[in-house]
Structure 1
């Protein structure tokens, strides 16, 4: 999306939900090329879901698609405006899940993957890094990027395929993921920032659909292949909120255990906070506190086991520094000769900025991305699906993906690789 200027026509019409908004004339500025209503049916659905329970007081889903200056008007108590989009989708998904509403959960997932406003053609939007989503299905996703931004084609395709997997995991129609796509790339040199967008307030379906402007990121065949191993009712492998038992991790490396165990505590703490929004505050705090206490005990045991395992697995840990896998080759299934590791550097796929990519690009054929979650998600999916790797390997991969989300740059790649 090409501008962070505030919506005029929608502001008074659709923001009647959580609480009224006061819009002064100084805030109502002319927009250049708005498109935040292009997928309107998903905004409408998510707004209805928010009304079931909206503890943060998010005014309307549309604010999550705007730039931070405009988003602040409807963010409620969400402090990190770069995370408003995710927080909105997360709460809507929670409400739909509580109601057993598969279509609602699907709509919340699609909303999470929609492109967010930026100030100019070709400018990528900032990802949410300060907050972990409560629902692993939401946490596995990020927003589409401006189609004219660097590497957008590969990034957006990866997001669509991951969205399809998450939709399939809840029993929805994975082909709906195609509808999260965006427009043809605009001209980055156009001073008017005209782009190839639409924004029609009274189009209930969404003008990107009715005007046939959506550019699919993936084919139905590619989506079918991506979801082939997903079992409805079970979280897809890319879902990061998984706590791996220390004994499993120790079978691969002592550092894997040491990495995964602290994640268990942080996950429990996150659940402590999130539970207060979903259930009775008193009951939720008591239940989550017990989980946090149990996780802390688990960390203590895991640390001891990691120390005992050091001598037994030193060769495997040393192998992390190479391009070969640190786990036994047989554990990787049909990908026995492959390396599931991630590298971080400059110049991948012609990029000027540093990014992440699989070490073994032949086996894990995913283009580079600045969001390590896209690469980690693809590797974990391949290990579980195409490779038919052992369950313990997939579990270690998911633990690595979780650990990587709390770090940046080389530290994120190291955190992921340590899980193996």
Structure 2
């Protein structure tokens, strides 16, 4: 049986950090070095930084000061990068080492935290500016290699990109035995206003909130639905045909709903079936745009292909569920009308 290190144990490890590391994590001078930039948000998902830091400190050969540095802009990040010379790769390197350590210890919580940490949005120079992806270092762990960081929600194509990242994260969390729905907690904030001279956006950065202010202040914008997460996990687990089967299921469900409605002579039921079909078609078209959006990022071709497949499969499965629900509701309405007519007939016979 796989040994799972408890959350309490990992938190205990955190308390053993050196004074230097703790000062680096909490020092107010960290933010003063950033100049004009997007308002700090590196502590918004604090609980994942805490667990990642605990796992990292089990073995830290690159002498990375603290996971928080990986979420800062390059000028500040490099000051806590240790032996990592590419600041754009510090977040990835931190996550990779933390994941390695947690895996060796059998700590599922630590592995999940490292995966989530890898996908958190980094601070950038202004609202709407996307952060640079790491290209100079290849992760040791394929689970980390499959992931990139969320982008500023106001940047071009961010909605599609961030959704694809969250769905891939769910697949990787599931692969290590974690709850894939935790991937929704990797989301970022509502988009800020591009050109805002304050760089304020809609962020928070509370230092003494162990949970993370994005959660306690209810600022998290989830990238996907629970159904899409479940569908992405199914698709990413090797069921490549899930998307196609779900899409075929959509047509069957809608047709069945419309047919049942017509058989009952219920125009409203037919309308419901058609509406469900239209919604599914619209979502499918939107999913089809994902590849185009991702292709315009710095992601490599294989990553774009995988993220596109997972996103489309999730959309197809979600549409299938929606269409089936619509058809069931339509059939239920038609059946209800049929029972009502039959009841009237019995009443007339008794008279």
> Scaled by the length of structure 2, what TM-score is found?
0.64
**Does the 8 Å CA contact 2:164/2:308 hold for their aligned counterparts?**
no
Higher helix share: 2
Deviations 1:340-393 (A, max 9, x none): xxxxxxxxxxxxxxxxxxxxx899663422123542223565899999xxxxxx
Residue number in structure 2 paired with 1:85: 91
> Is contact 2:30-2:76 (8 Å) kept?
no
Which residue is 1:226 aligned to? 232
- Paired with 1:157 and 1:143, the residues of 2 have a C-alpha distance of 11
Change (3 A) 1:380 1:154: closer
- Give distance in 2, aligned partners of 1:363 and 1:147: 18
Asked whether the 8 Å contact 2:46–2:210 carries over to 1, the reply is yes
Do structure 1's residue 123 and structure 2's residue 137 form an aligned pair? no
Please tell me whether residue 376 in structure 1 is matched to residue 305 in structure 2: yes
The answer to whether the 8 A contact 2:119-2:150 is kept is yes
Q: How does 1:4-23 map to 2 (within 5 A)?
A: 16=19
* Cα displacement (A) at 1:186: 0.3
Structure 2 partner of 1:104: 110
Shift of 1:28: 3.5
The residue number in structure 2 matching 1:171 is 177
Of the three residues 61, 64, 75, the one matched with 2:67 is 61
Q: Which residue of 2 aligns with 1:187?
A: 193
Q: CA 1:206 to 1:160, structure 2 compared with 1: closer, same or farther past 3 Å?
A: same
Unaligned runs of 5+ in 2: 1-16, 246-284, 317-351
Instruction: Name which of 188, 207, 210 aligns with 1:204.
Output: 210
Corresponding residue SS for 2:19: coil
How many angstroms apart in 2 are the aligned matches of 1:114 and 1:130?
A: 19
Superposition map of 1:18-29 within 5 A: 28-29=32-33
Q: Tell which has more relative contact order, 1 or 2 (C-alpha 8 A, sep 6+).
A: 2
- Between the aligned partners of 1:376 and 1:75, the Cα distance in structure 2 is 32
What CA distance in whole angstroms lies between the structure 2 residues aligned with 1:66 and 1:97?
A: 26
- Structure-to-structure mapping, 1:15-414, within 5 angstroms: 16=19, 28-29=32-33, 33-231=39-237, 366-367=290-291, 368-369=293-294, 370=297, 371-372=299-300, 373-378=302-307, 381=310
Q: Is the 8 A contact 1:115 1:182 kept in 2?
A: yes
Aligned residues of 1:82 and 1:127 also touching (Cα < 8 A):
yes
* Deviation per residue, 1:237-291 (Å, 9 max, x gap): 99xxxxxxxxxxxxxxxxxxxxxxxxxxxxxxxxxxxxxxxxxxxxxxxxxxxxx
Measured in 1, the distance between the counterparts of 2:147 and 2:95 equals: 10
Q: Which has the larger radius of gyration?
A: 2
Distance 1:228 1:19 in 2: 40
Query: What's the CA shift for 1:191?
Result: 1.0
What is the CA–CA distance in structure 1 between the aligned matches of 2:41 and 2:312, rounded to whole Å?
37
Report the Cα offset of residue 69 of structure 1.
0.4
Aligned equivalents of 1:19, 1:203: Cα separation in 2: 15
Give the distance between the partners of 1:386 and 1:122, measured in 2 at CA. Answer: 26
For residues 397-419 of structure 1, what are the alpha-carbon distances to aligned partners after superposition, in whole Å with 9 as ceiling and x for unaligned?
A: xxxxxxxxxxxxxxxxxxxxxxx
**2:331 equivalent in structure 1:** none
Give the unaligned 5+ runs of structure 1.
1-13, 239-330, 336-360, 388-420
Root-mean-square deviation over aligned CA pairs: 3.4
Structure 1: distance between partners of 2:44 and 2:28: 25
d(CA) in 2 for partners of 1:118 and 1:59? 20
Please give the TM-score of this superposition, normalised by the length of structure 1. Answer: 0.54
SS at match of 2:304: helix
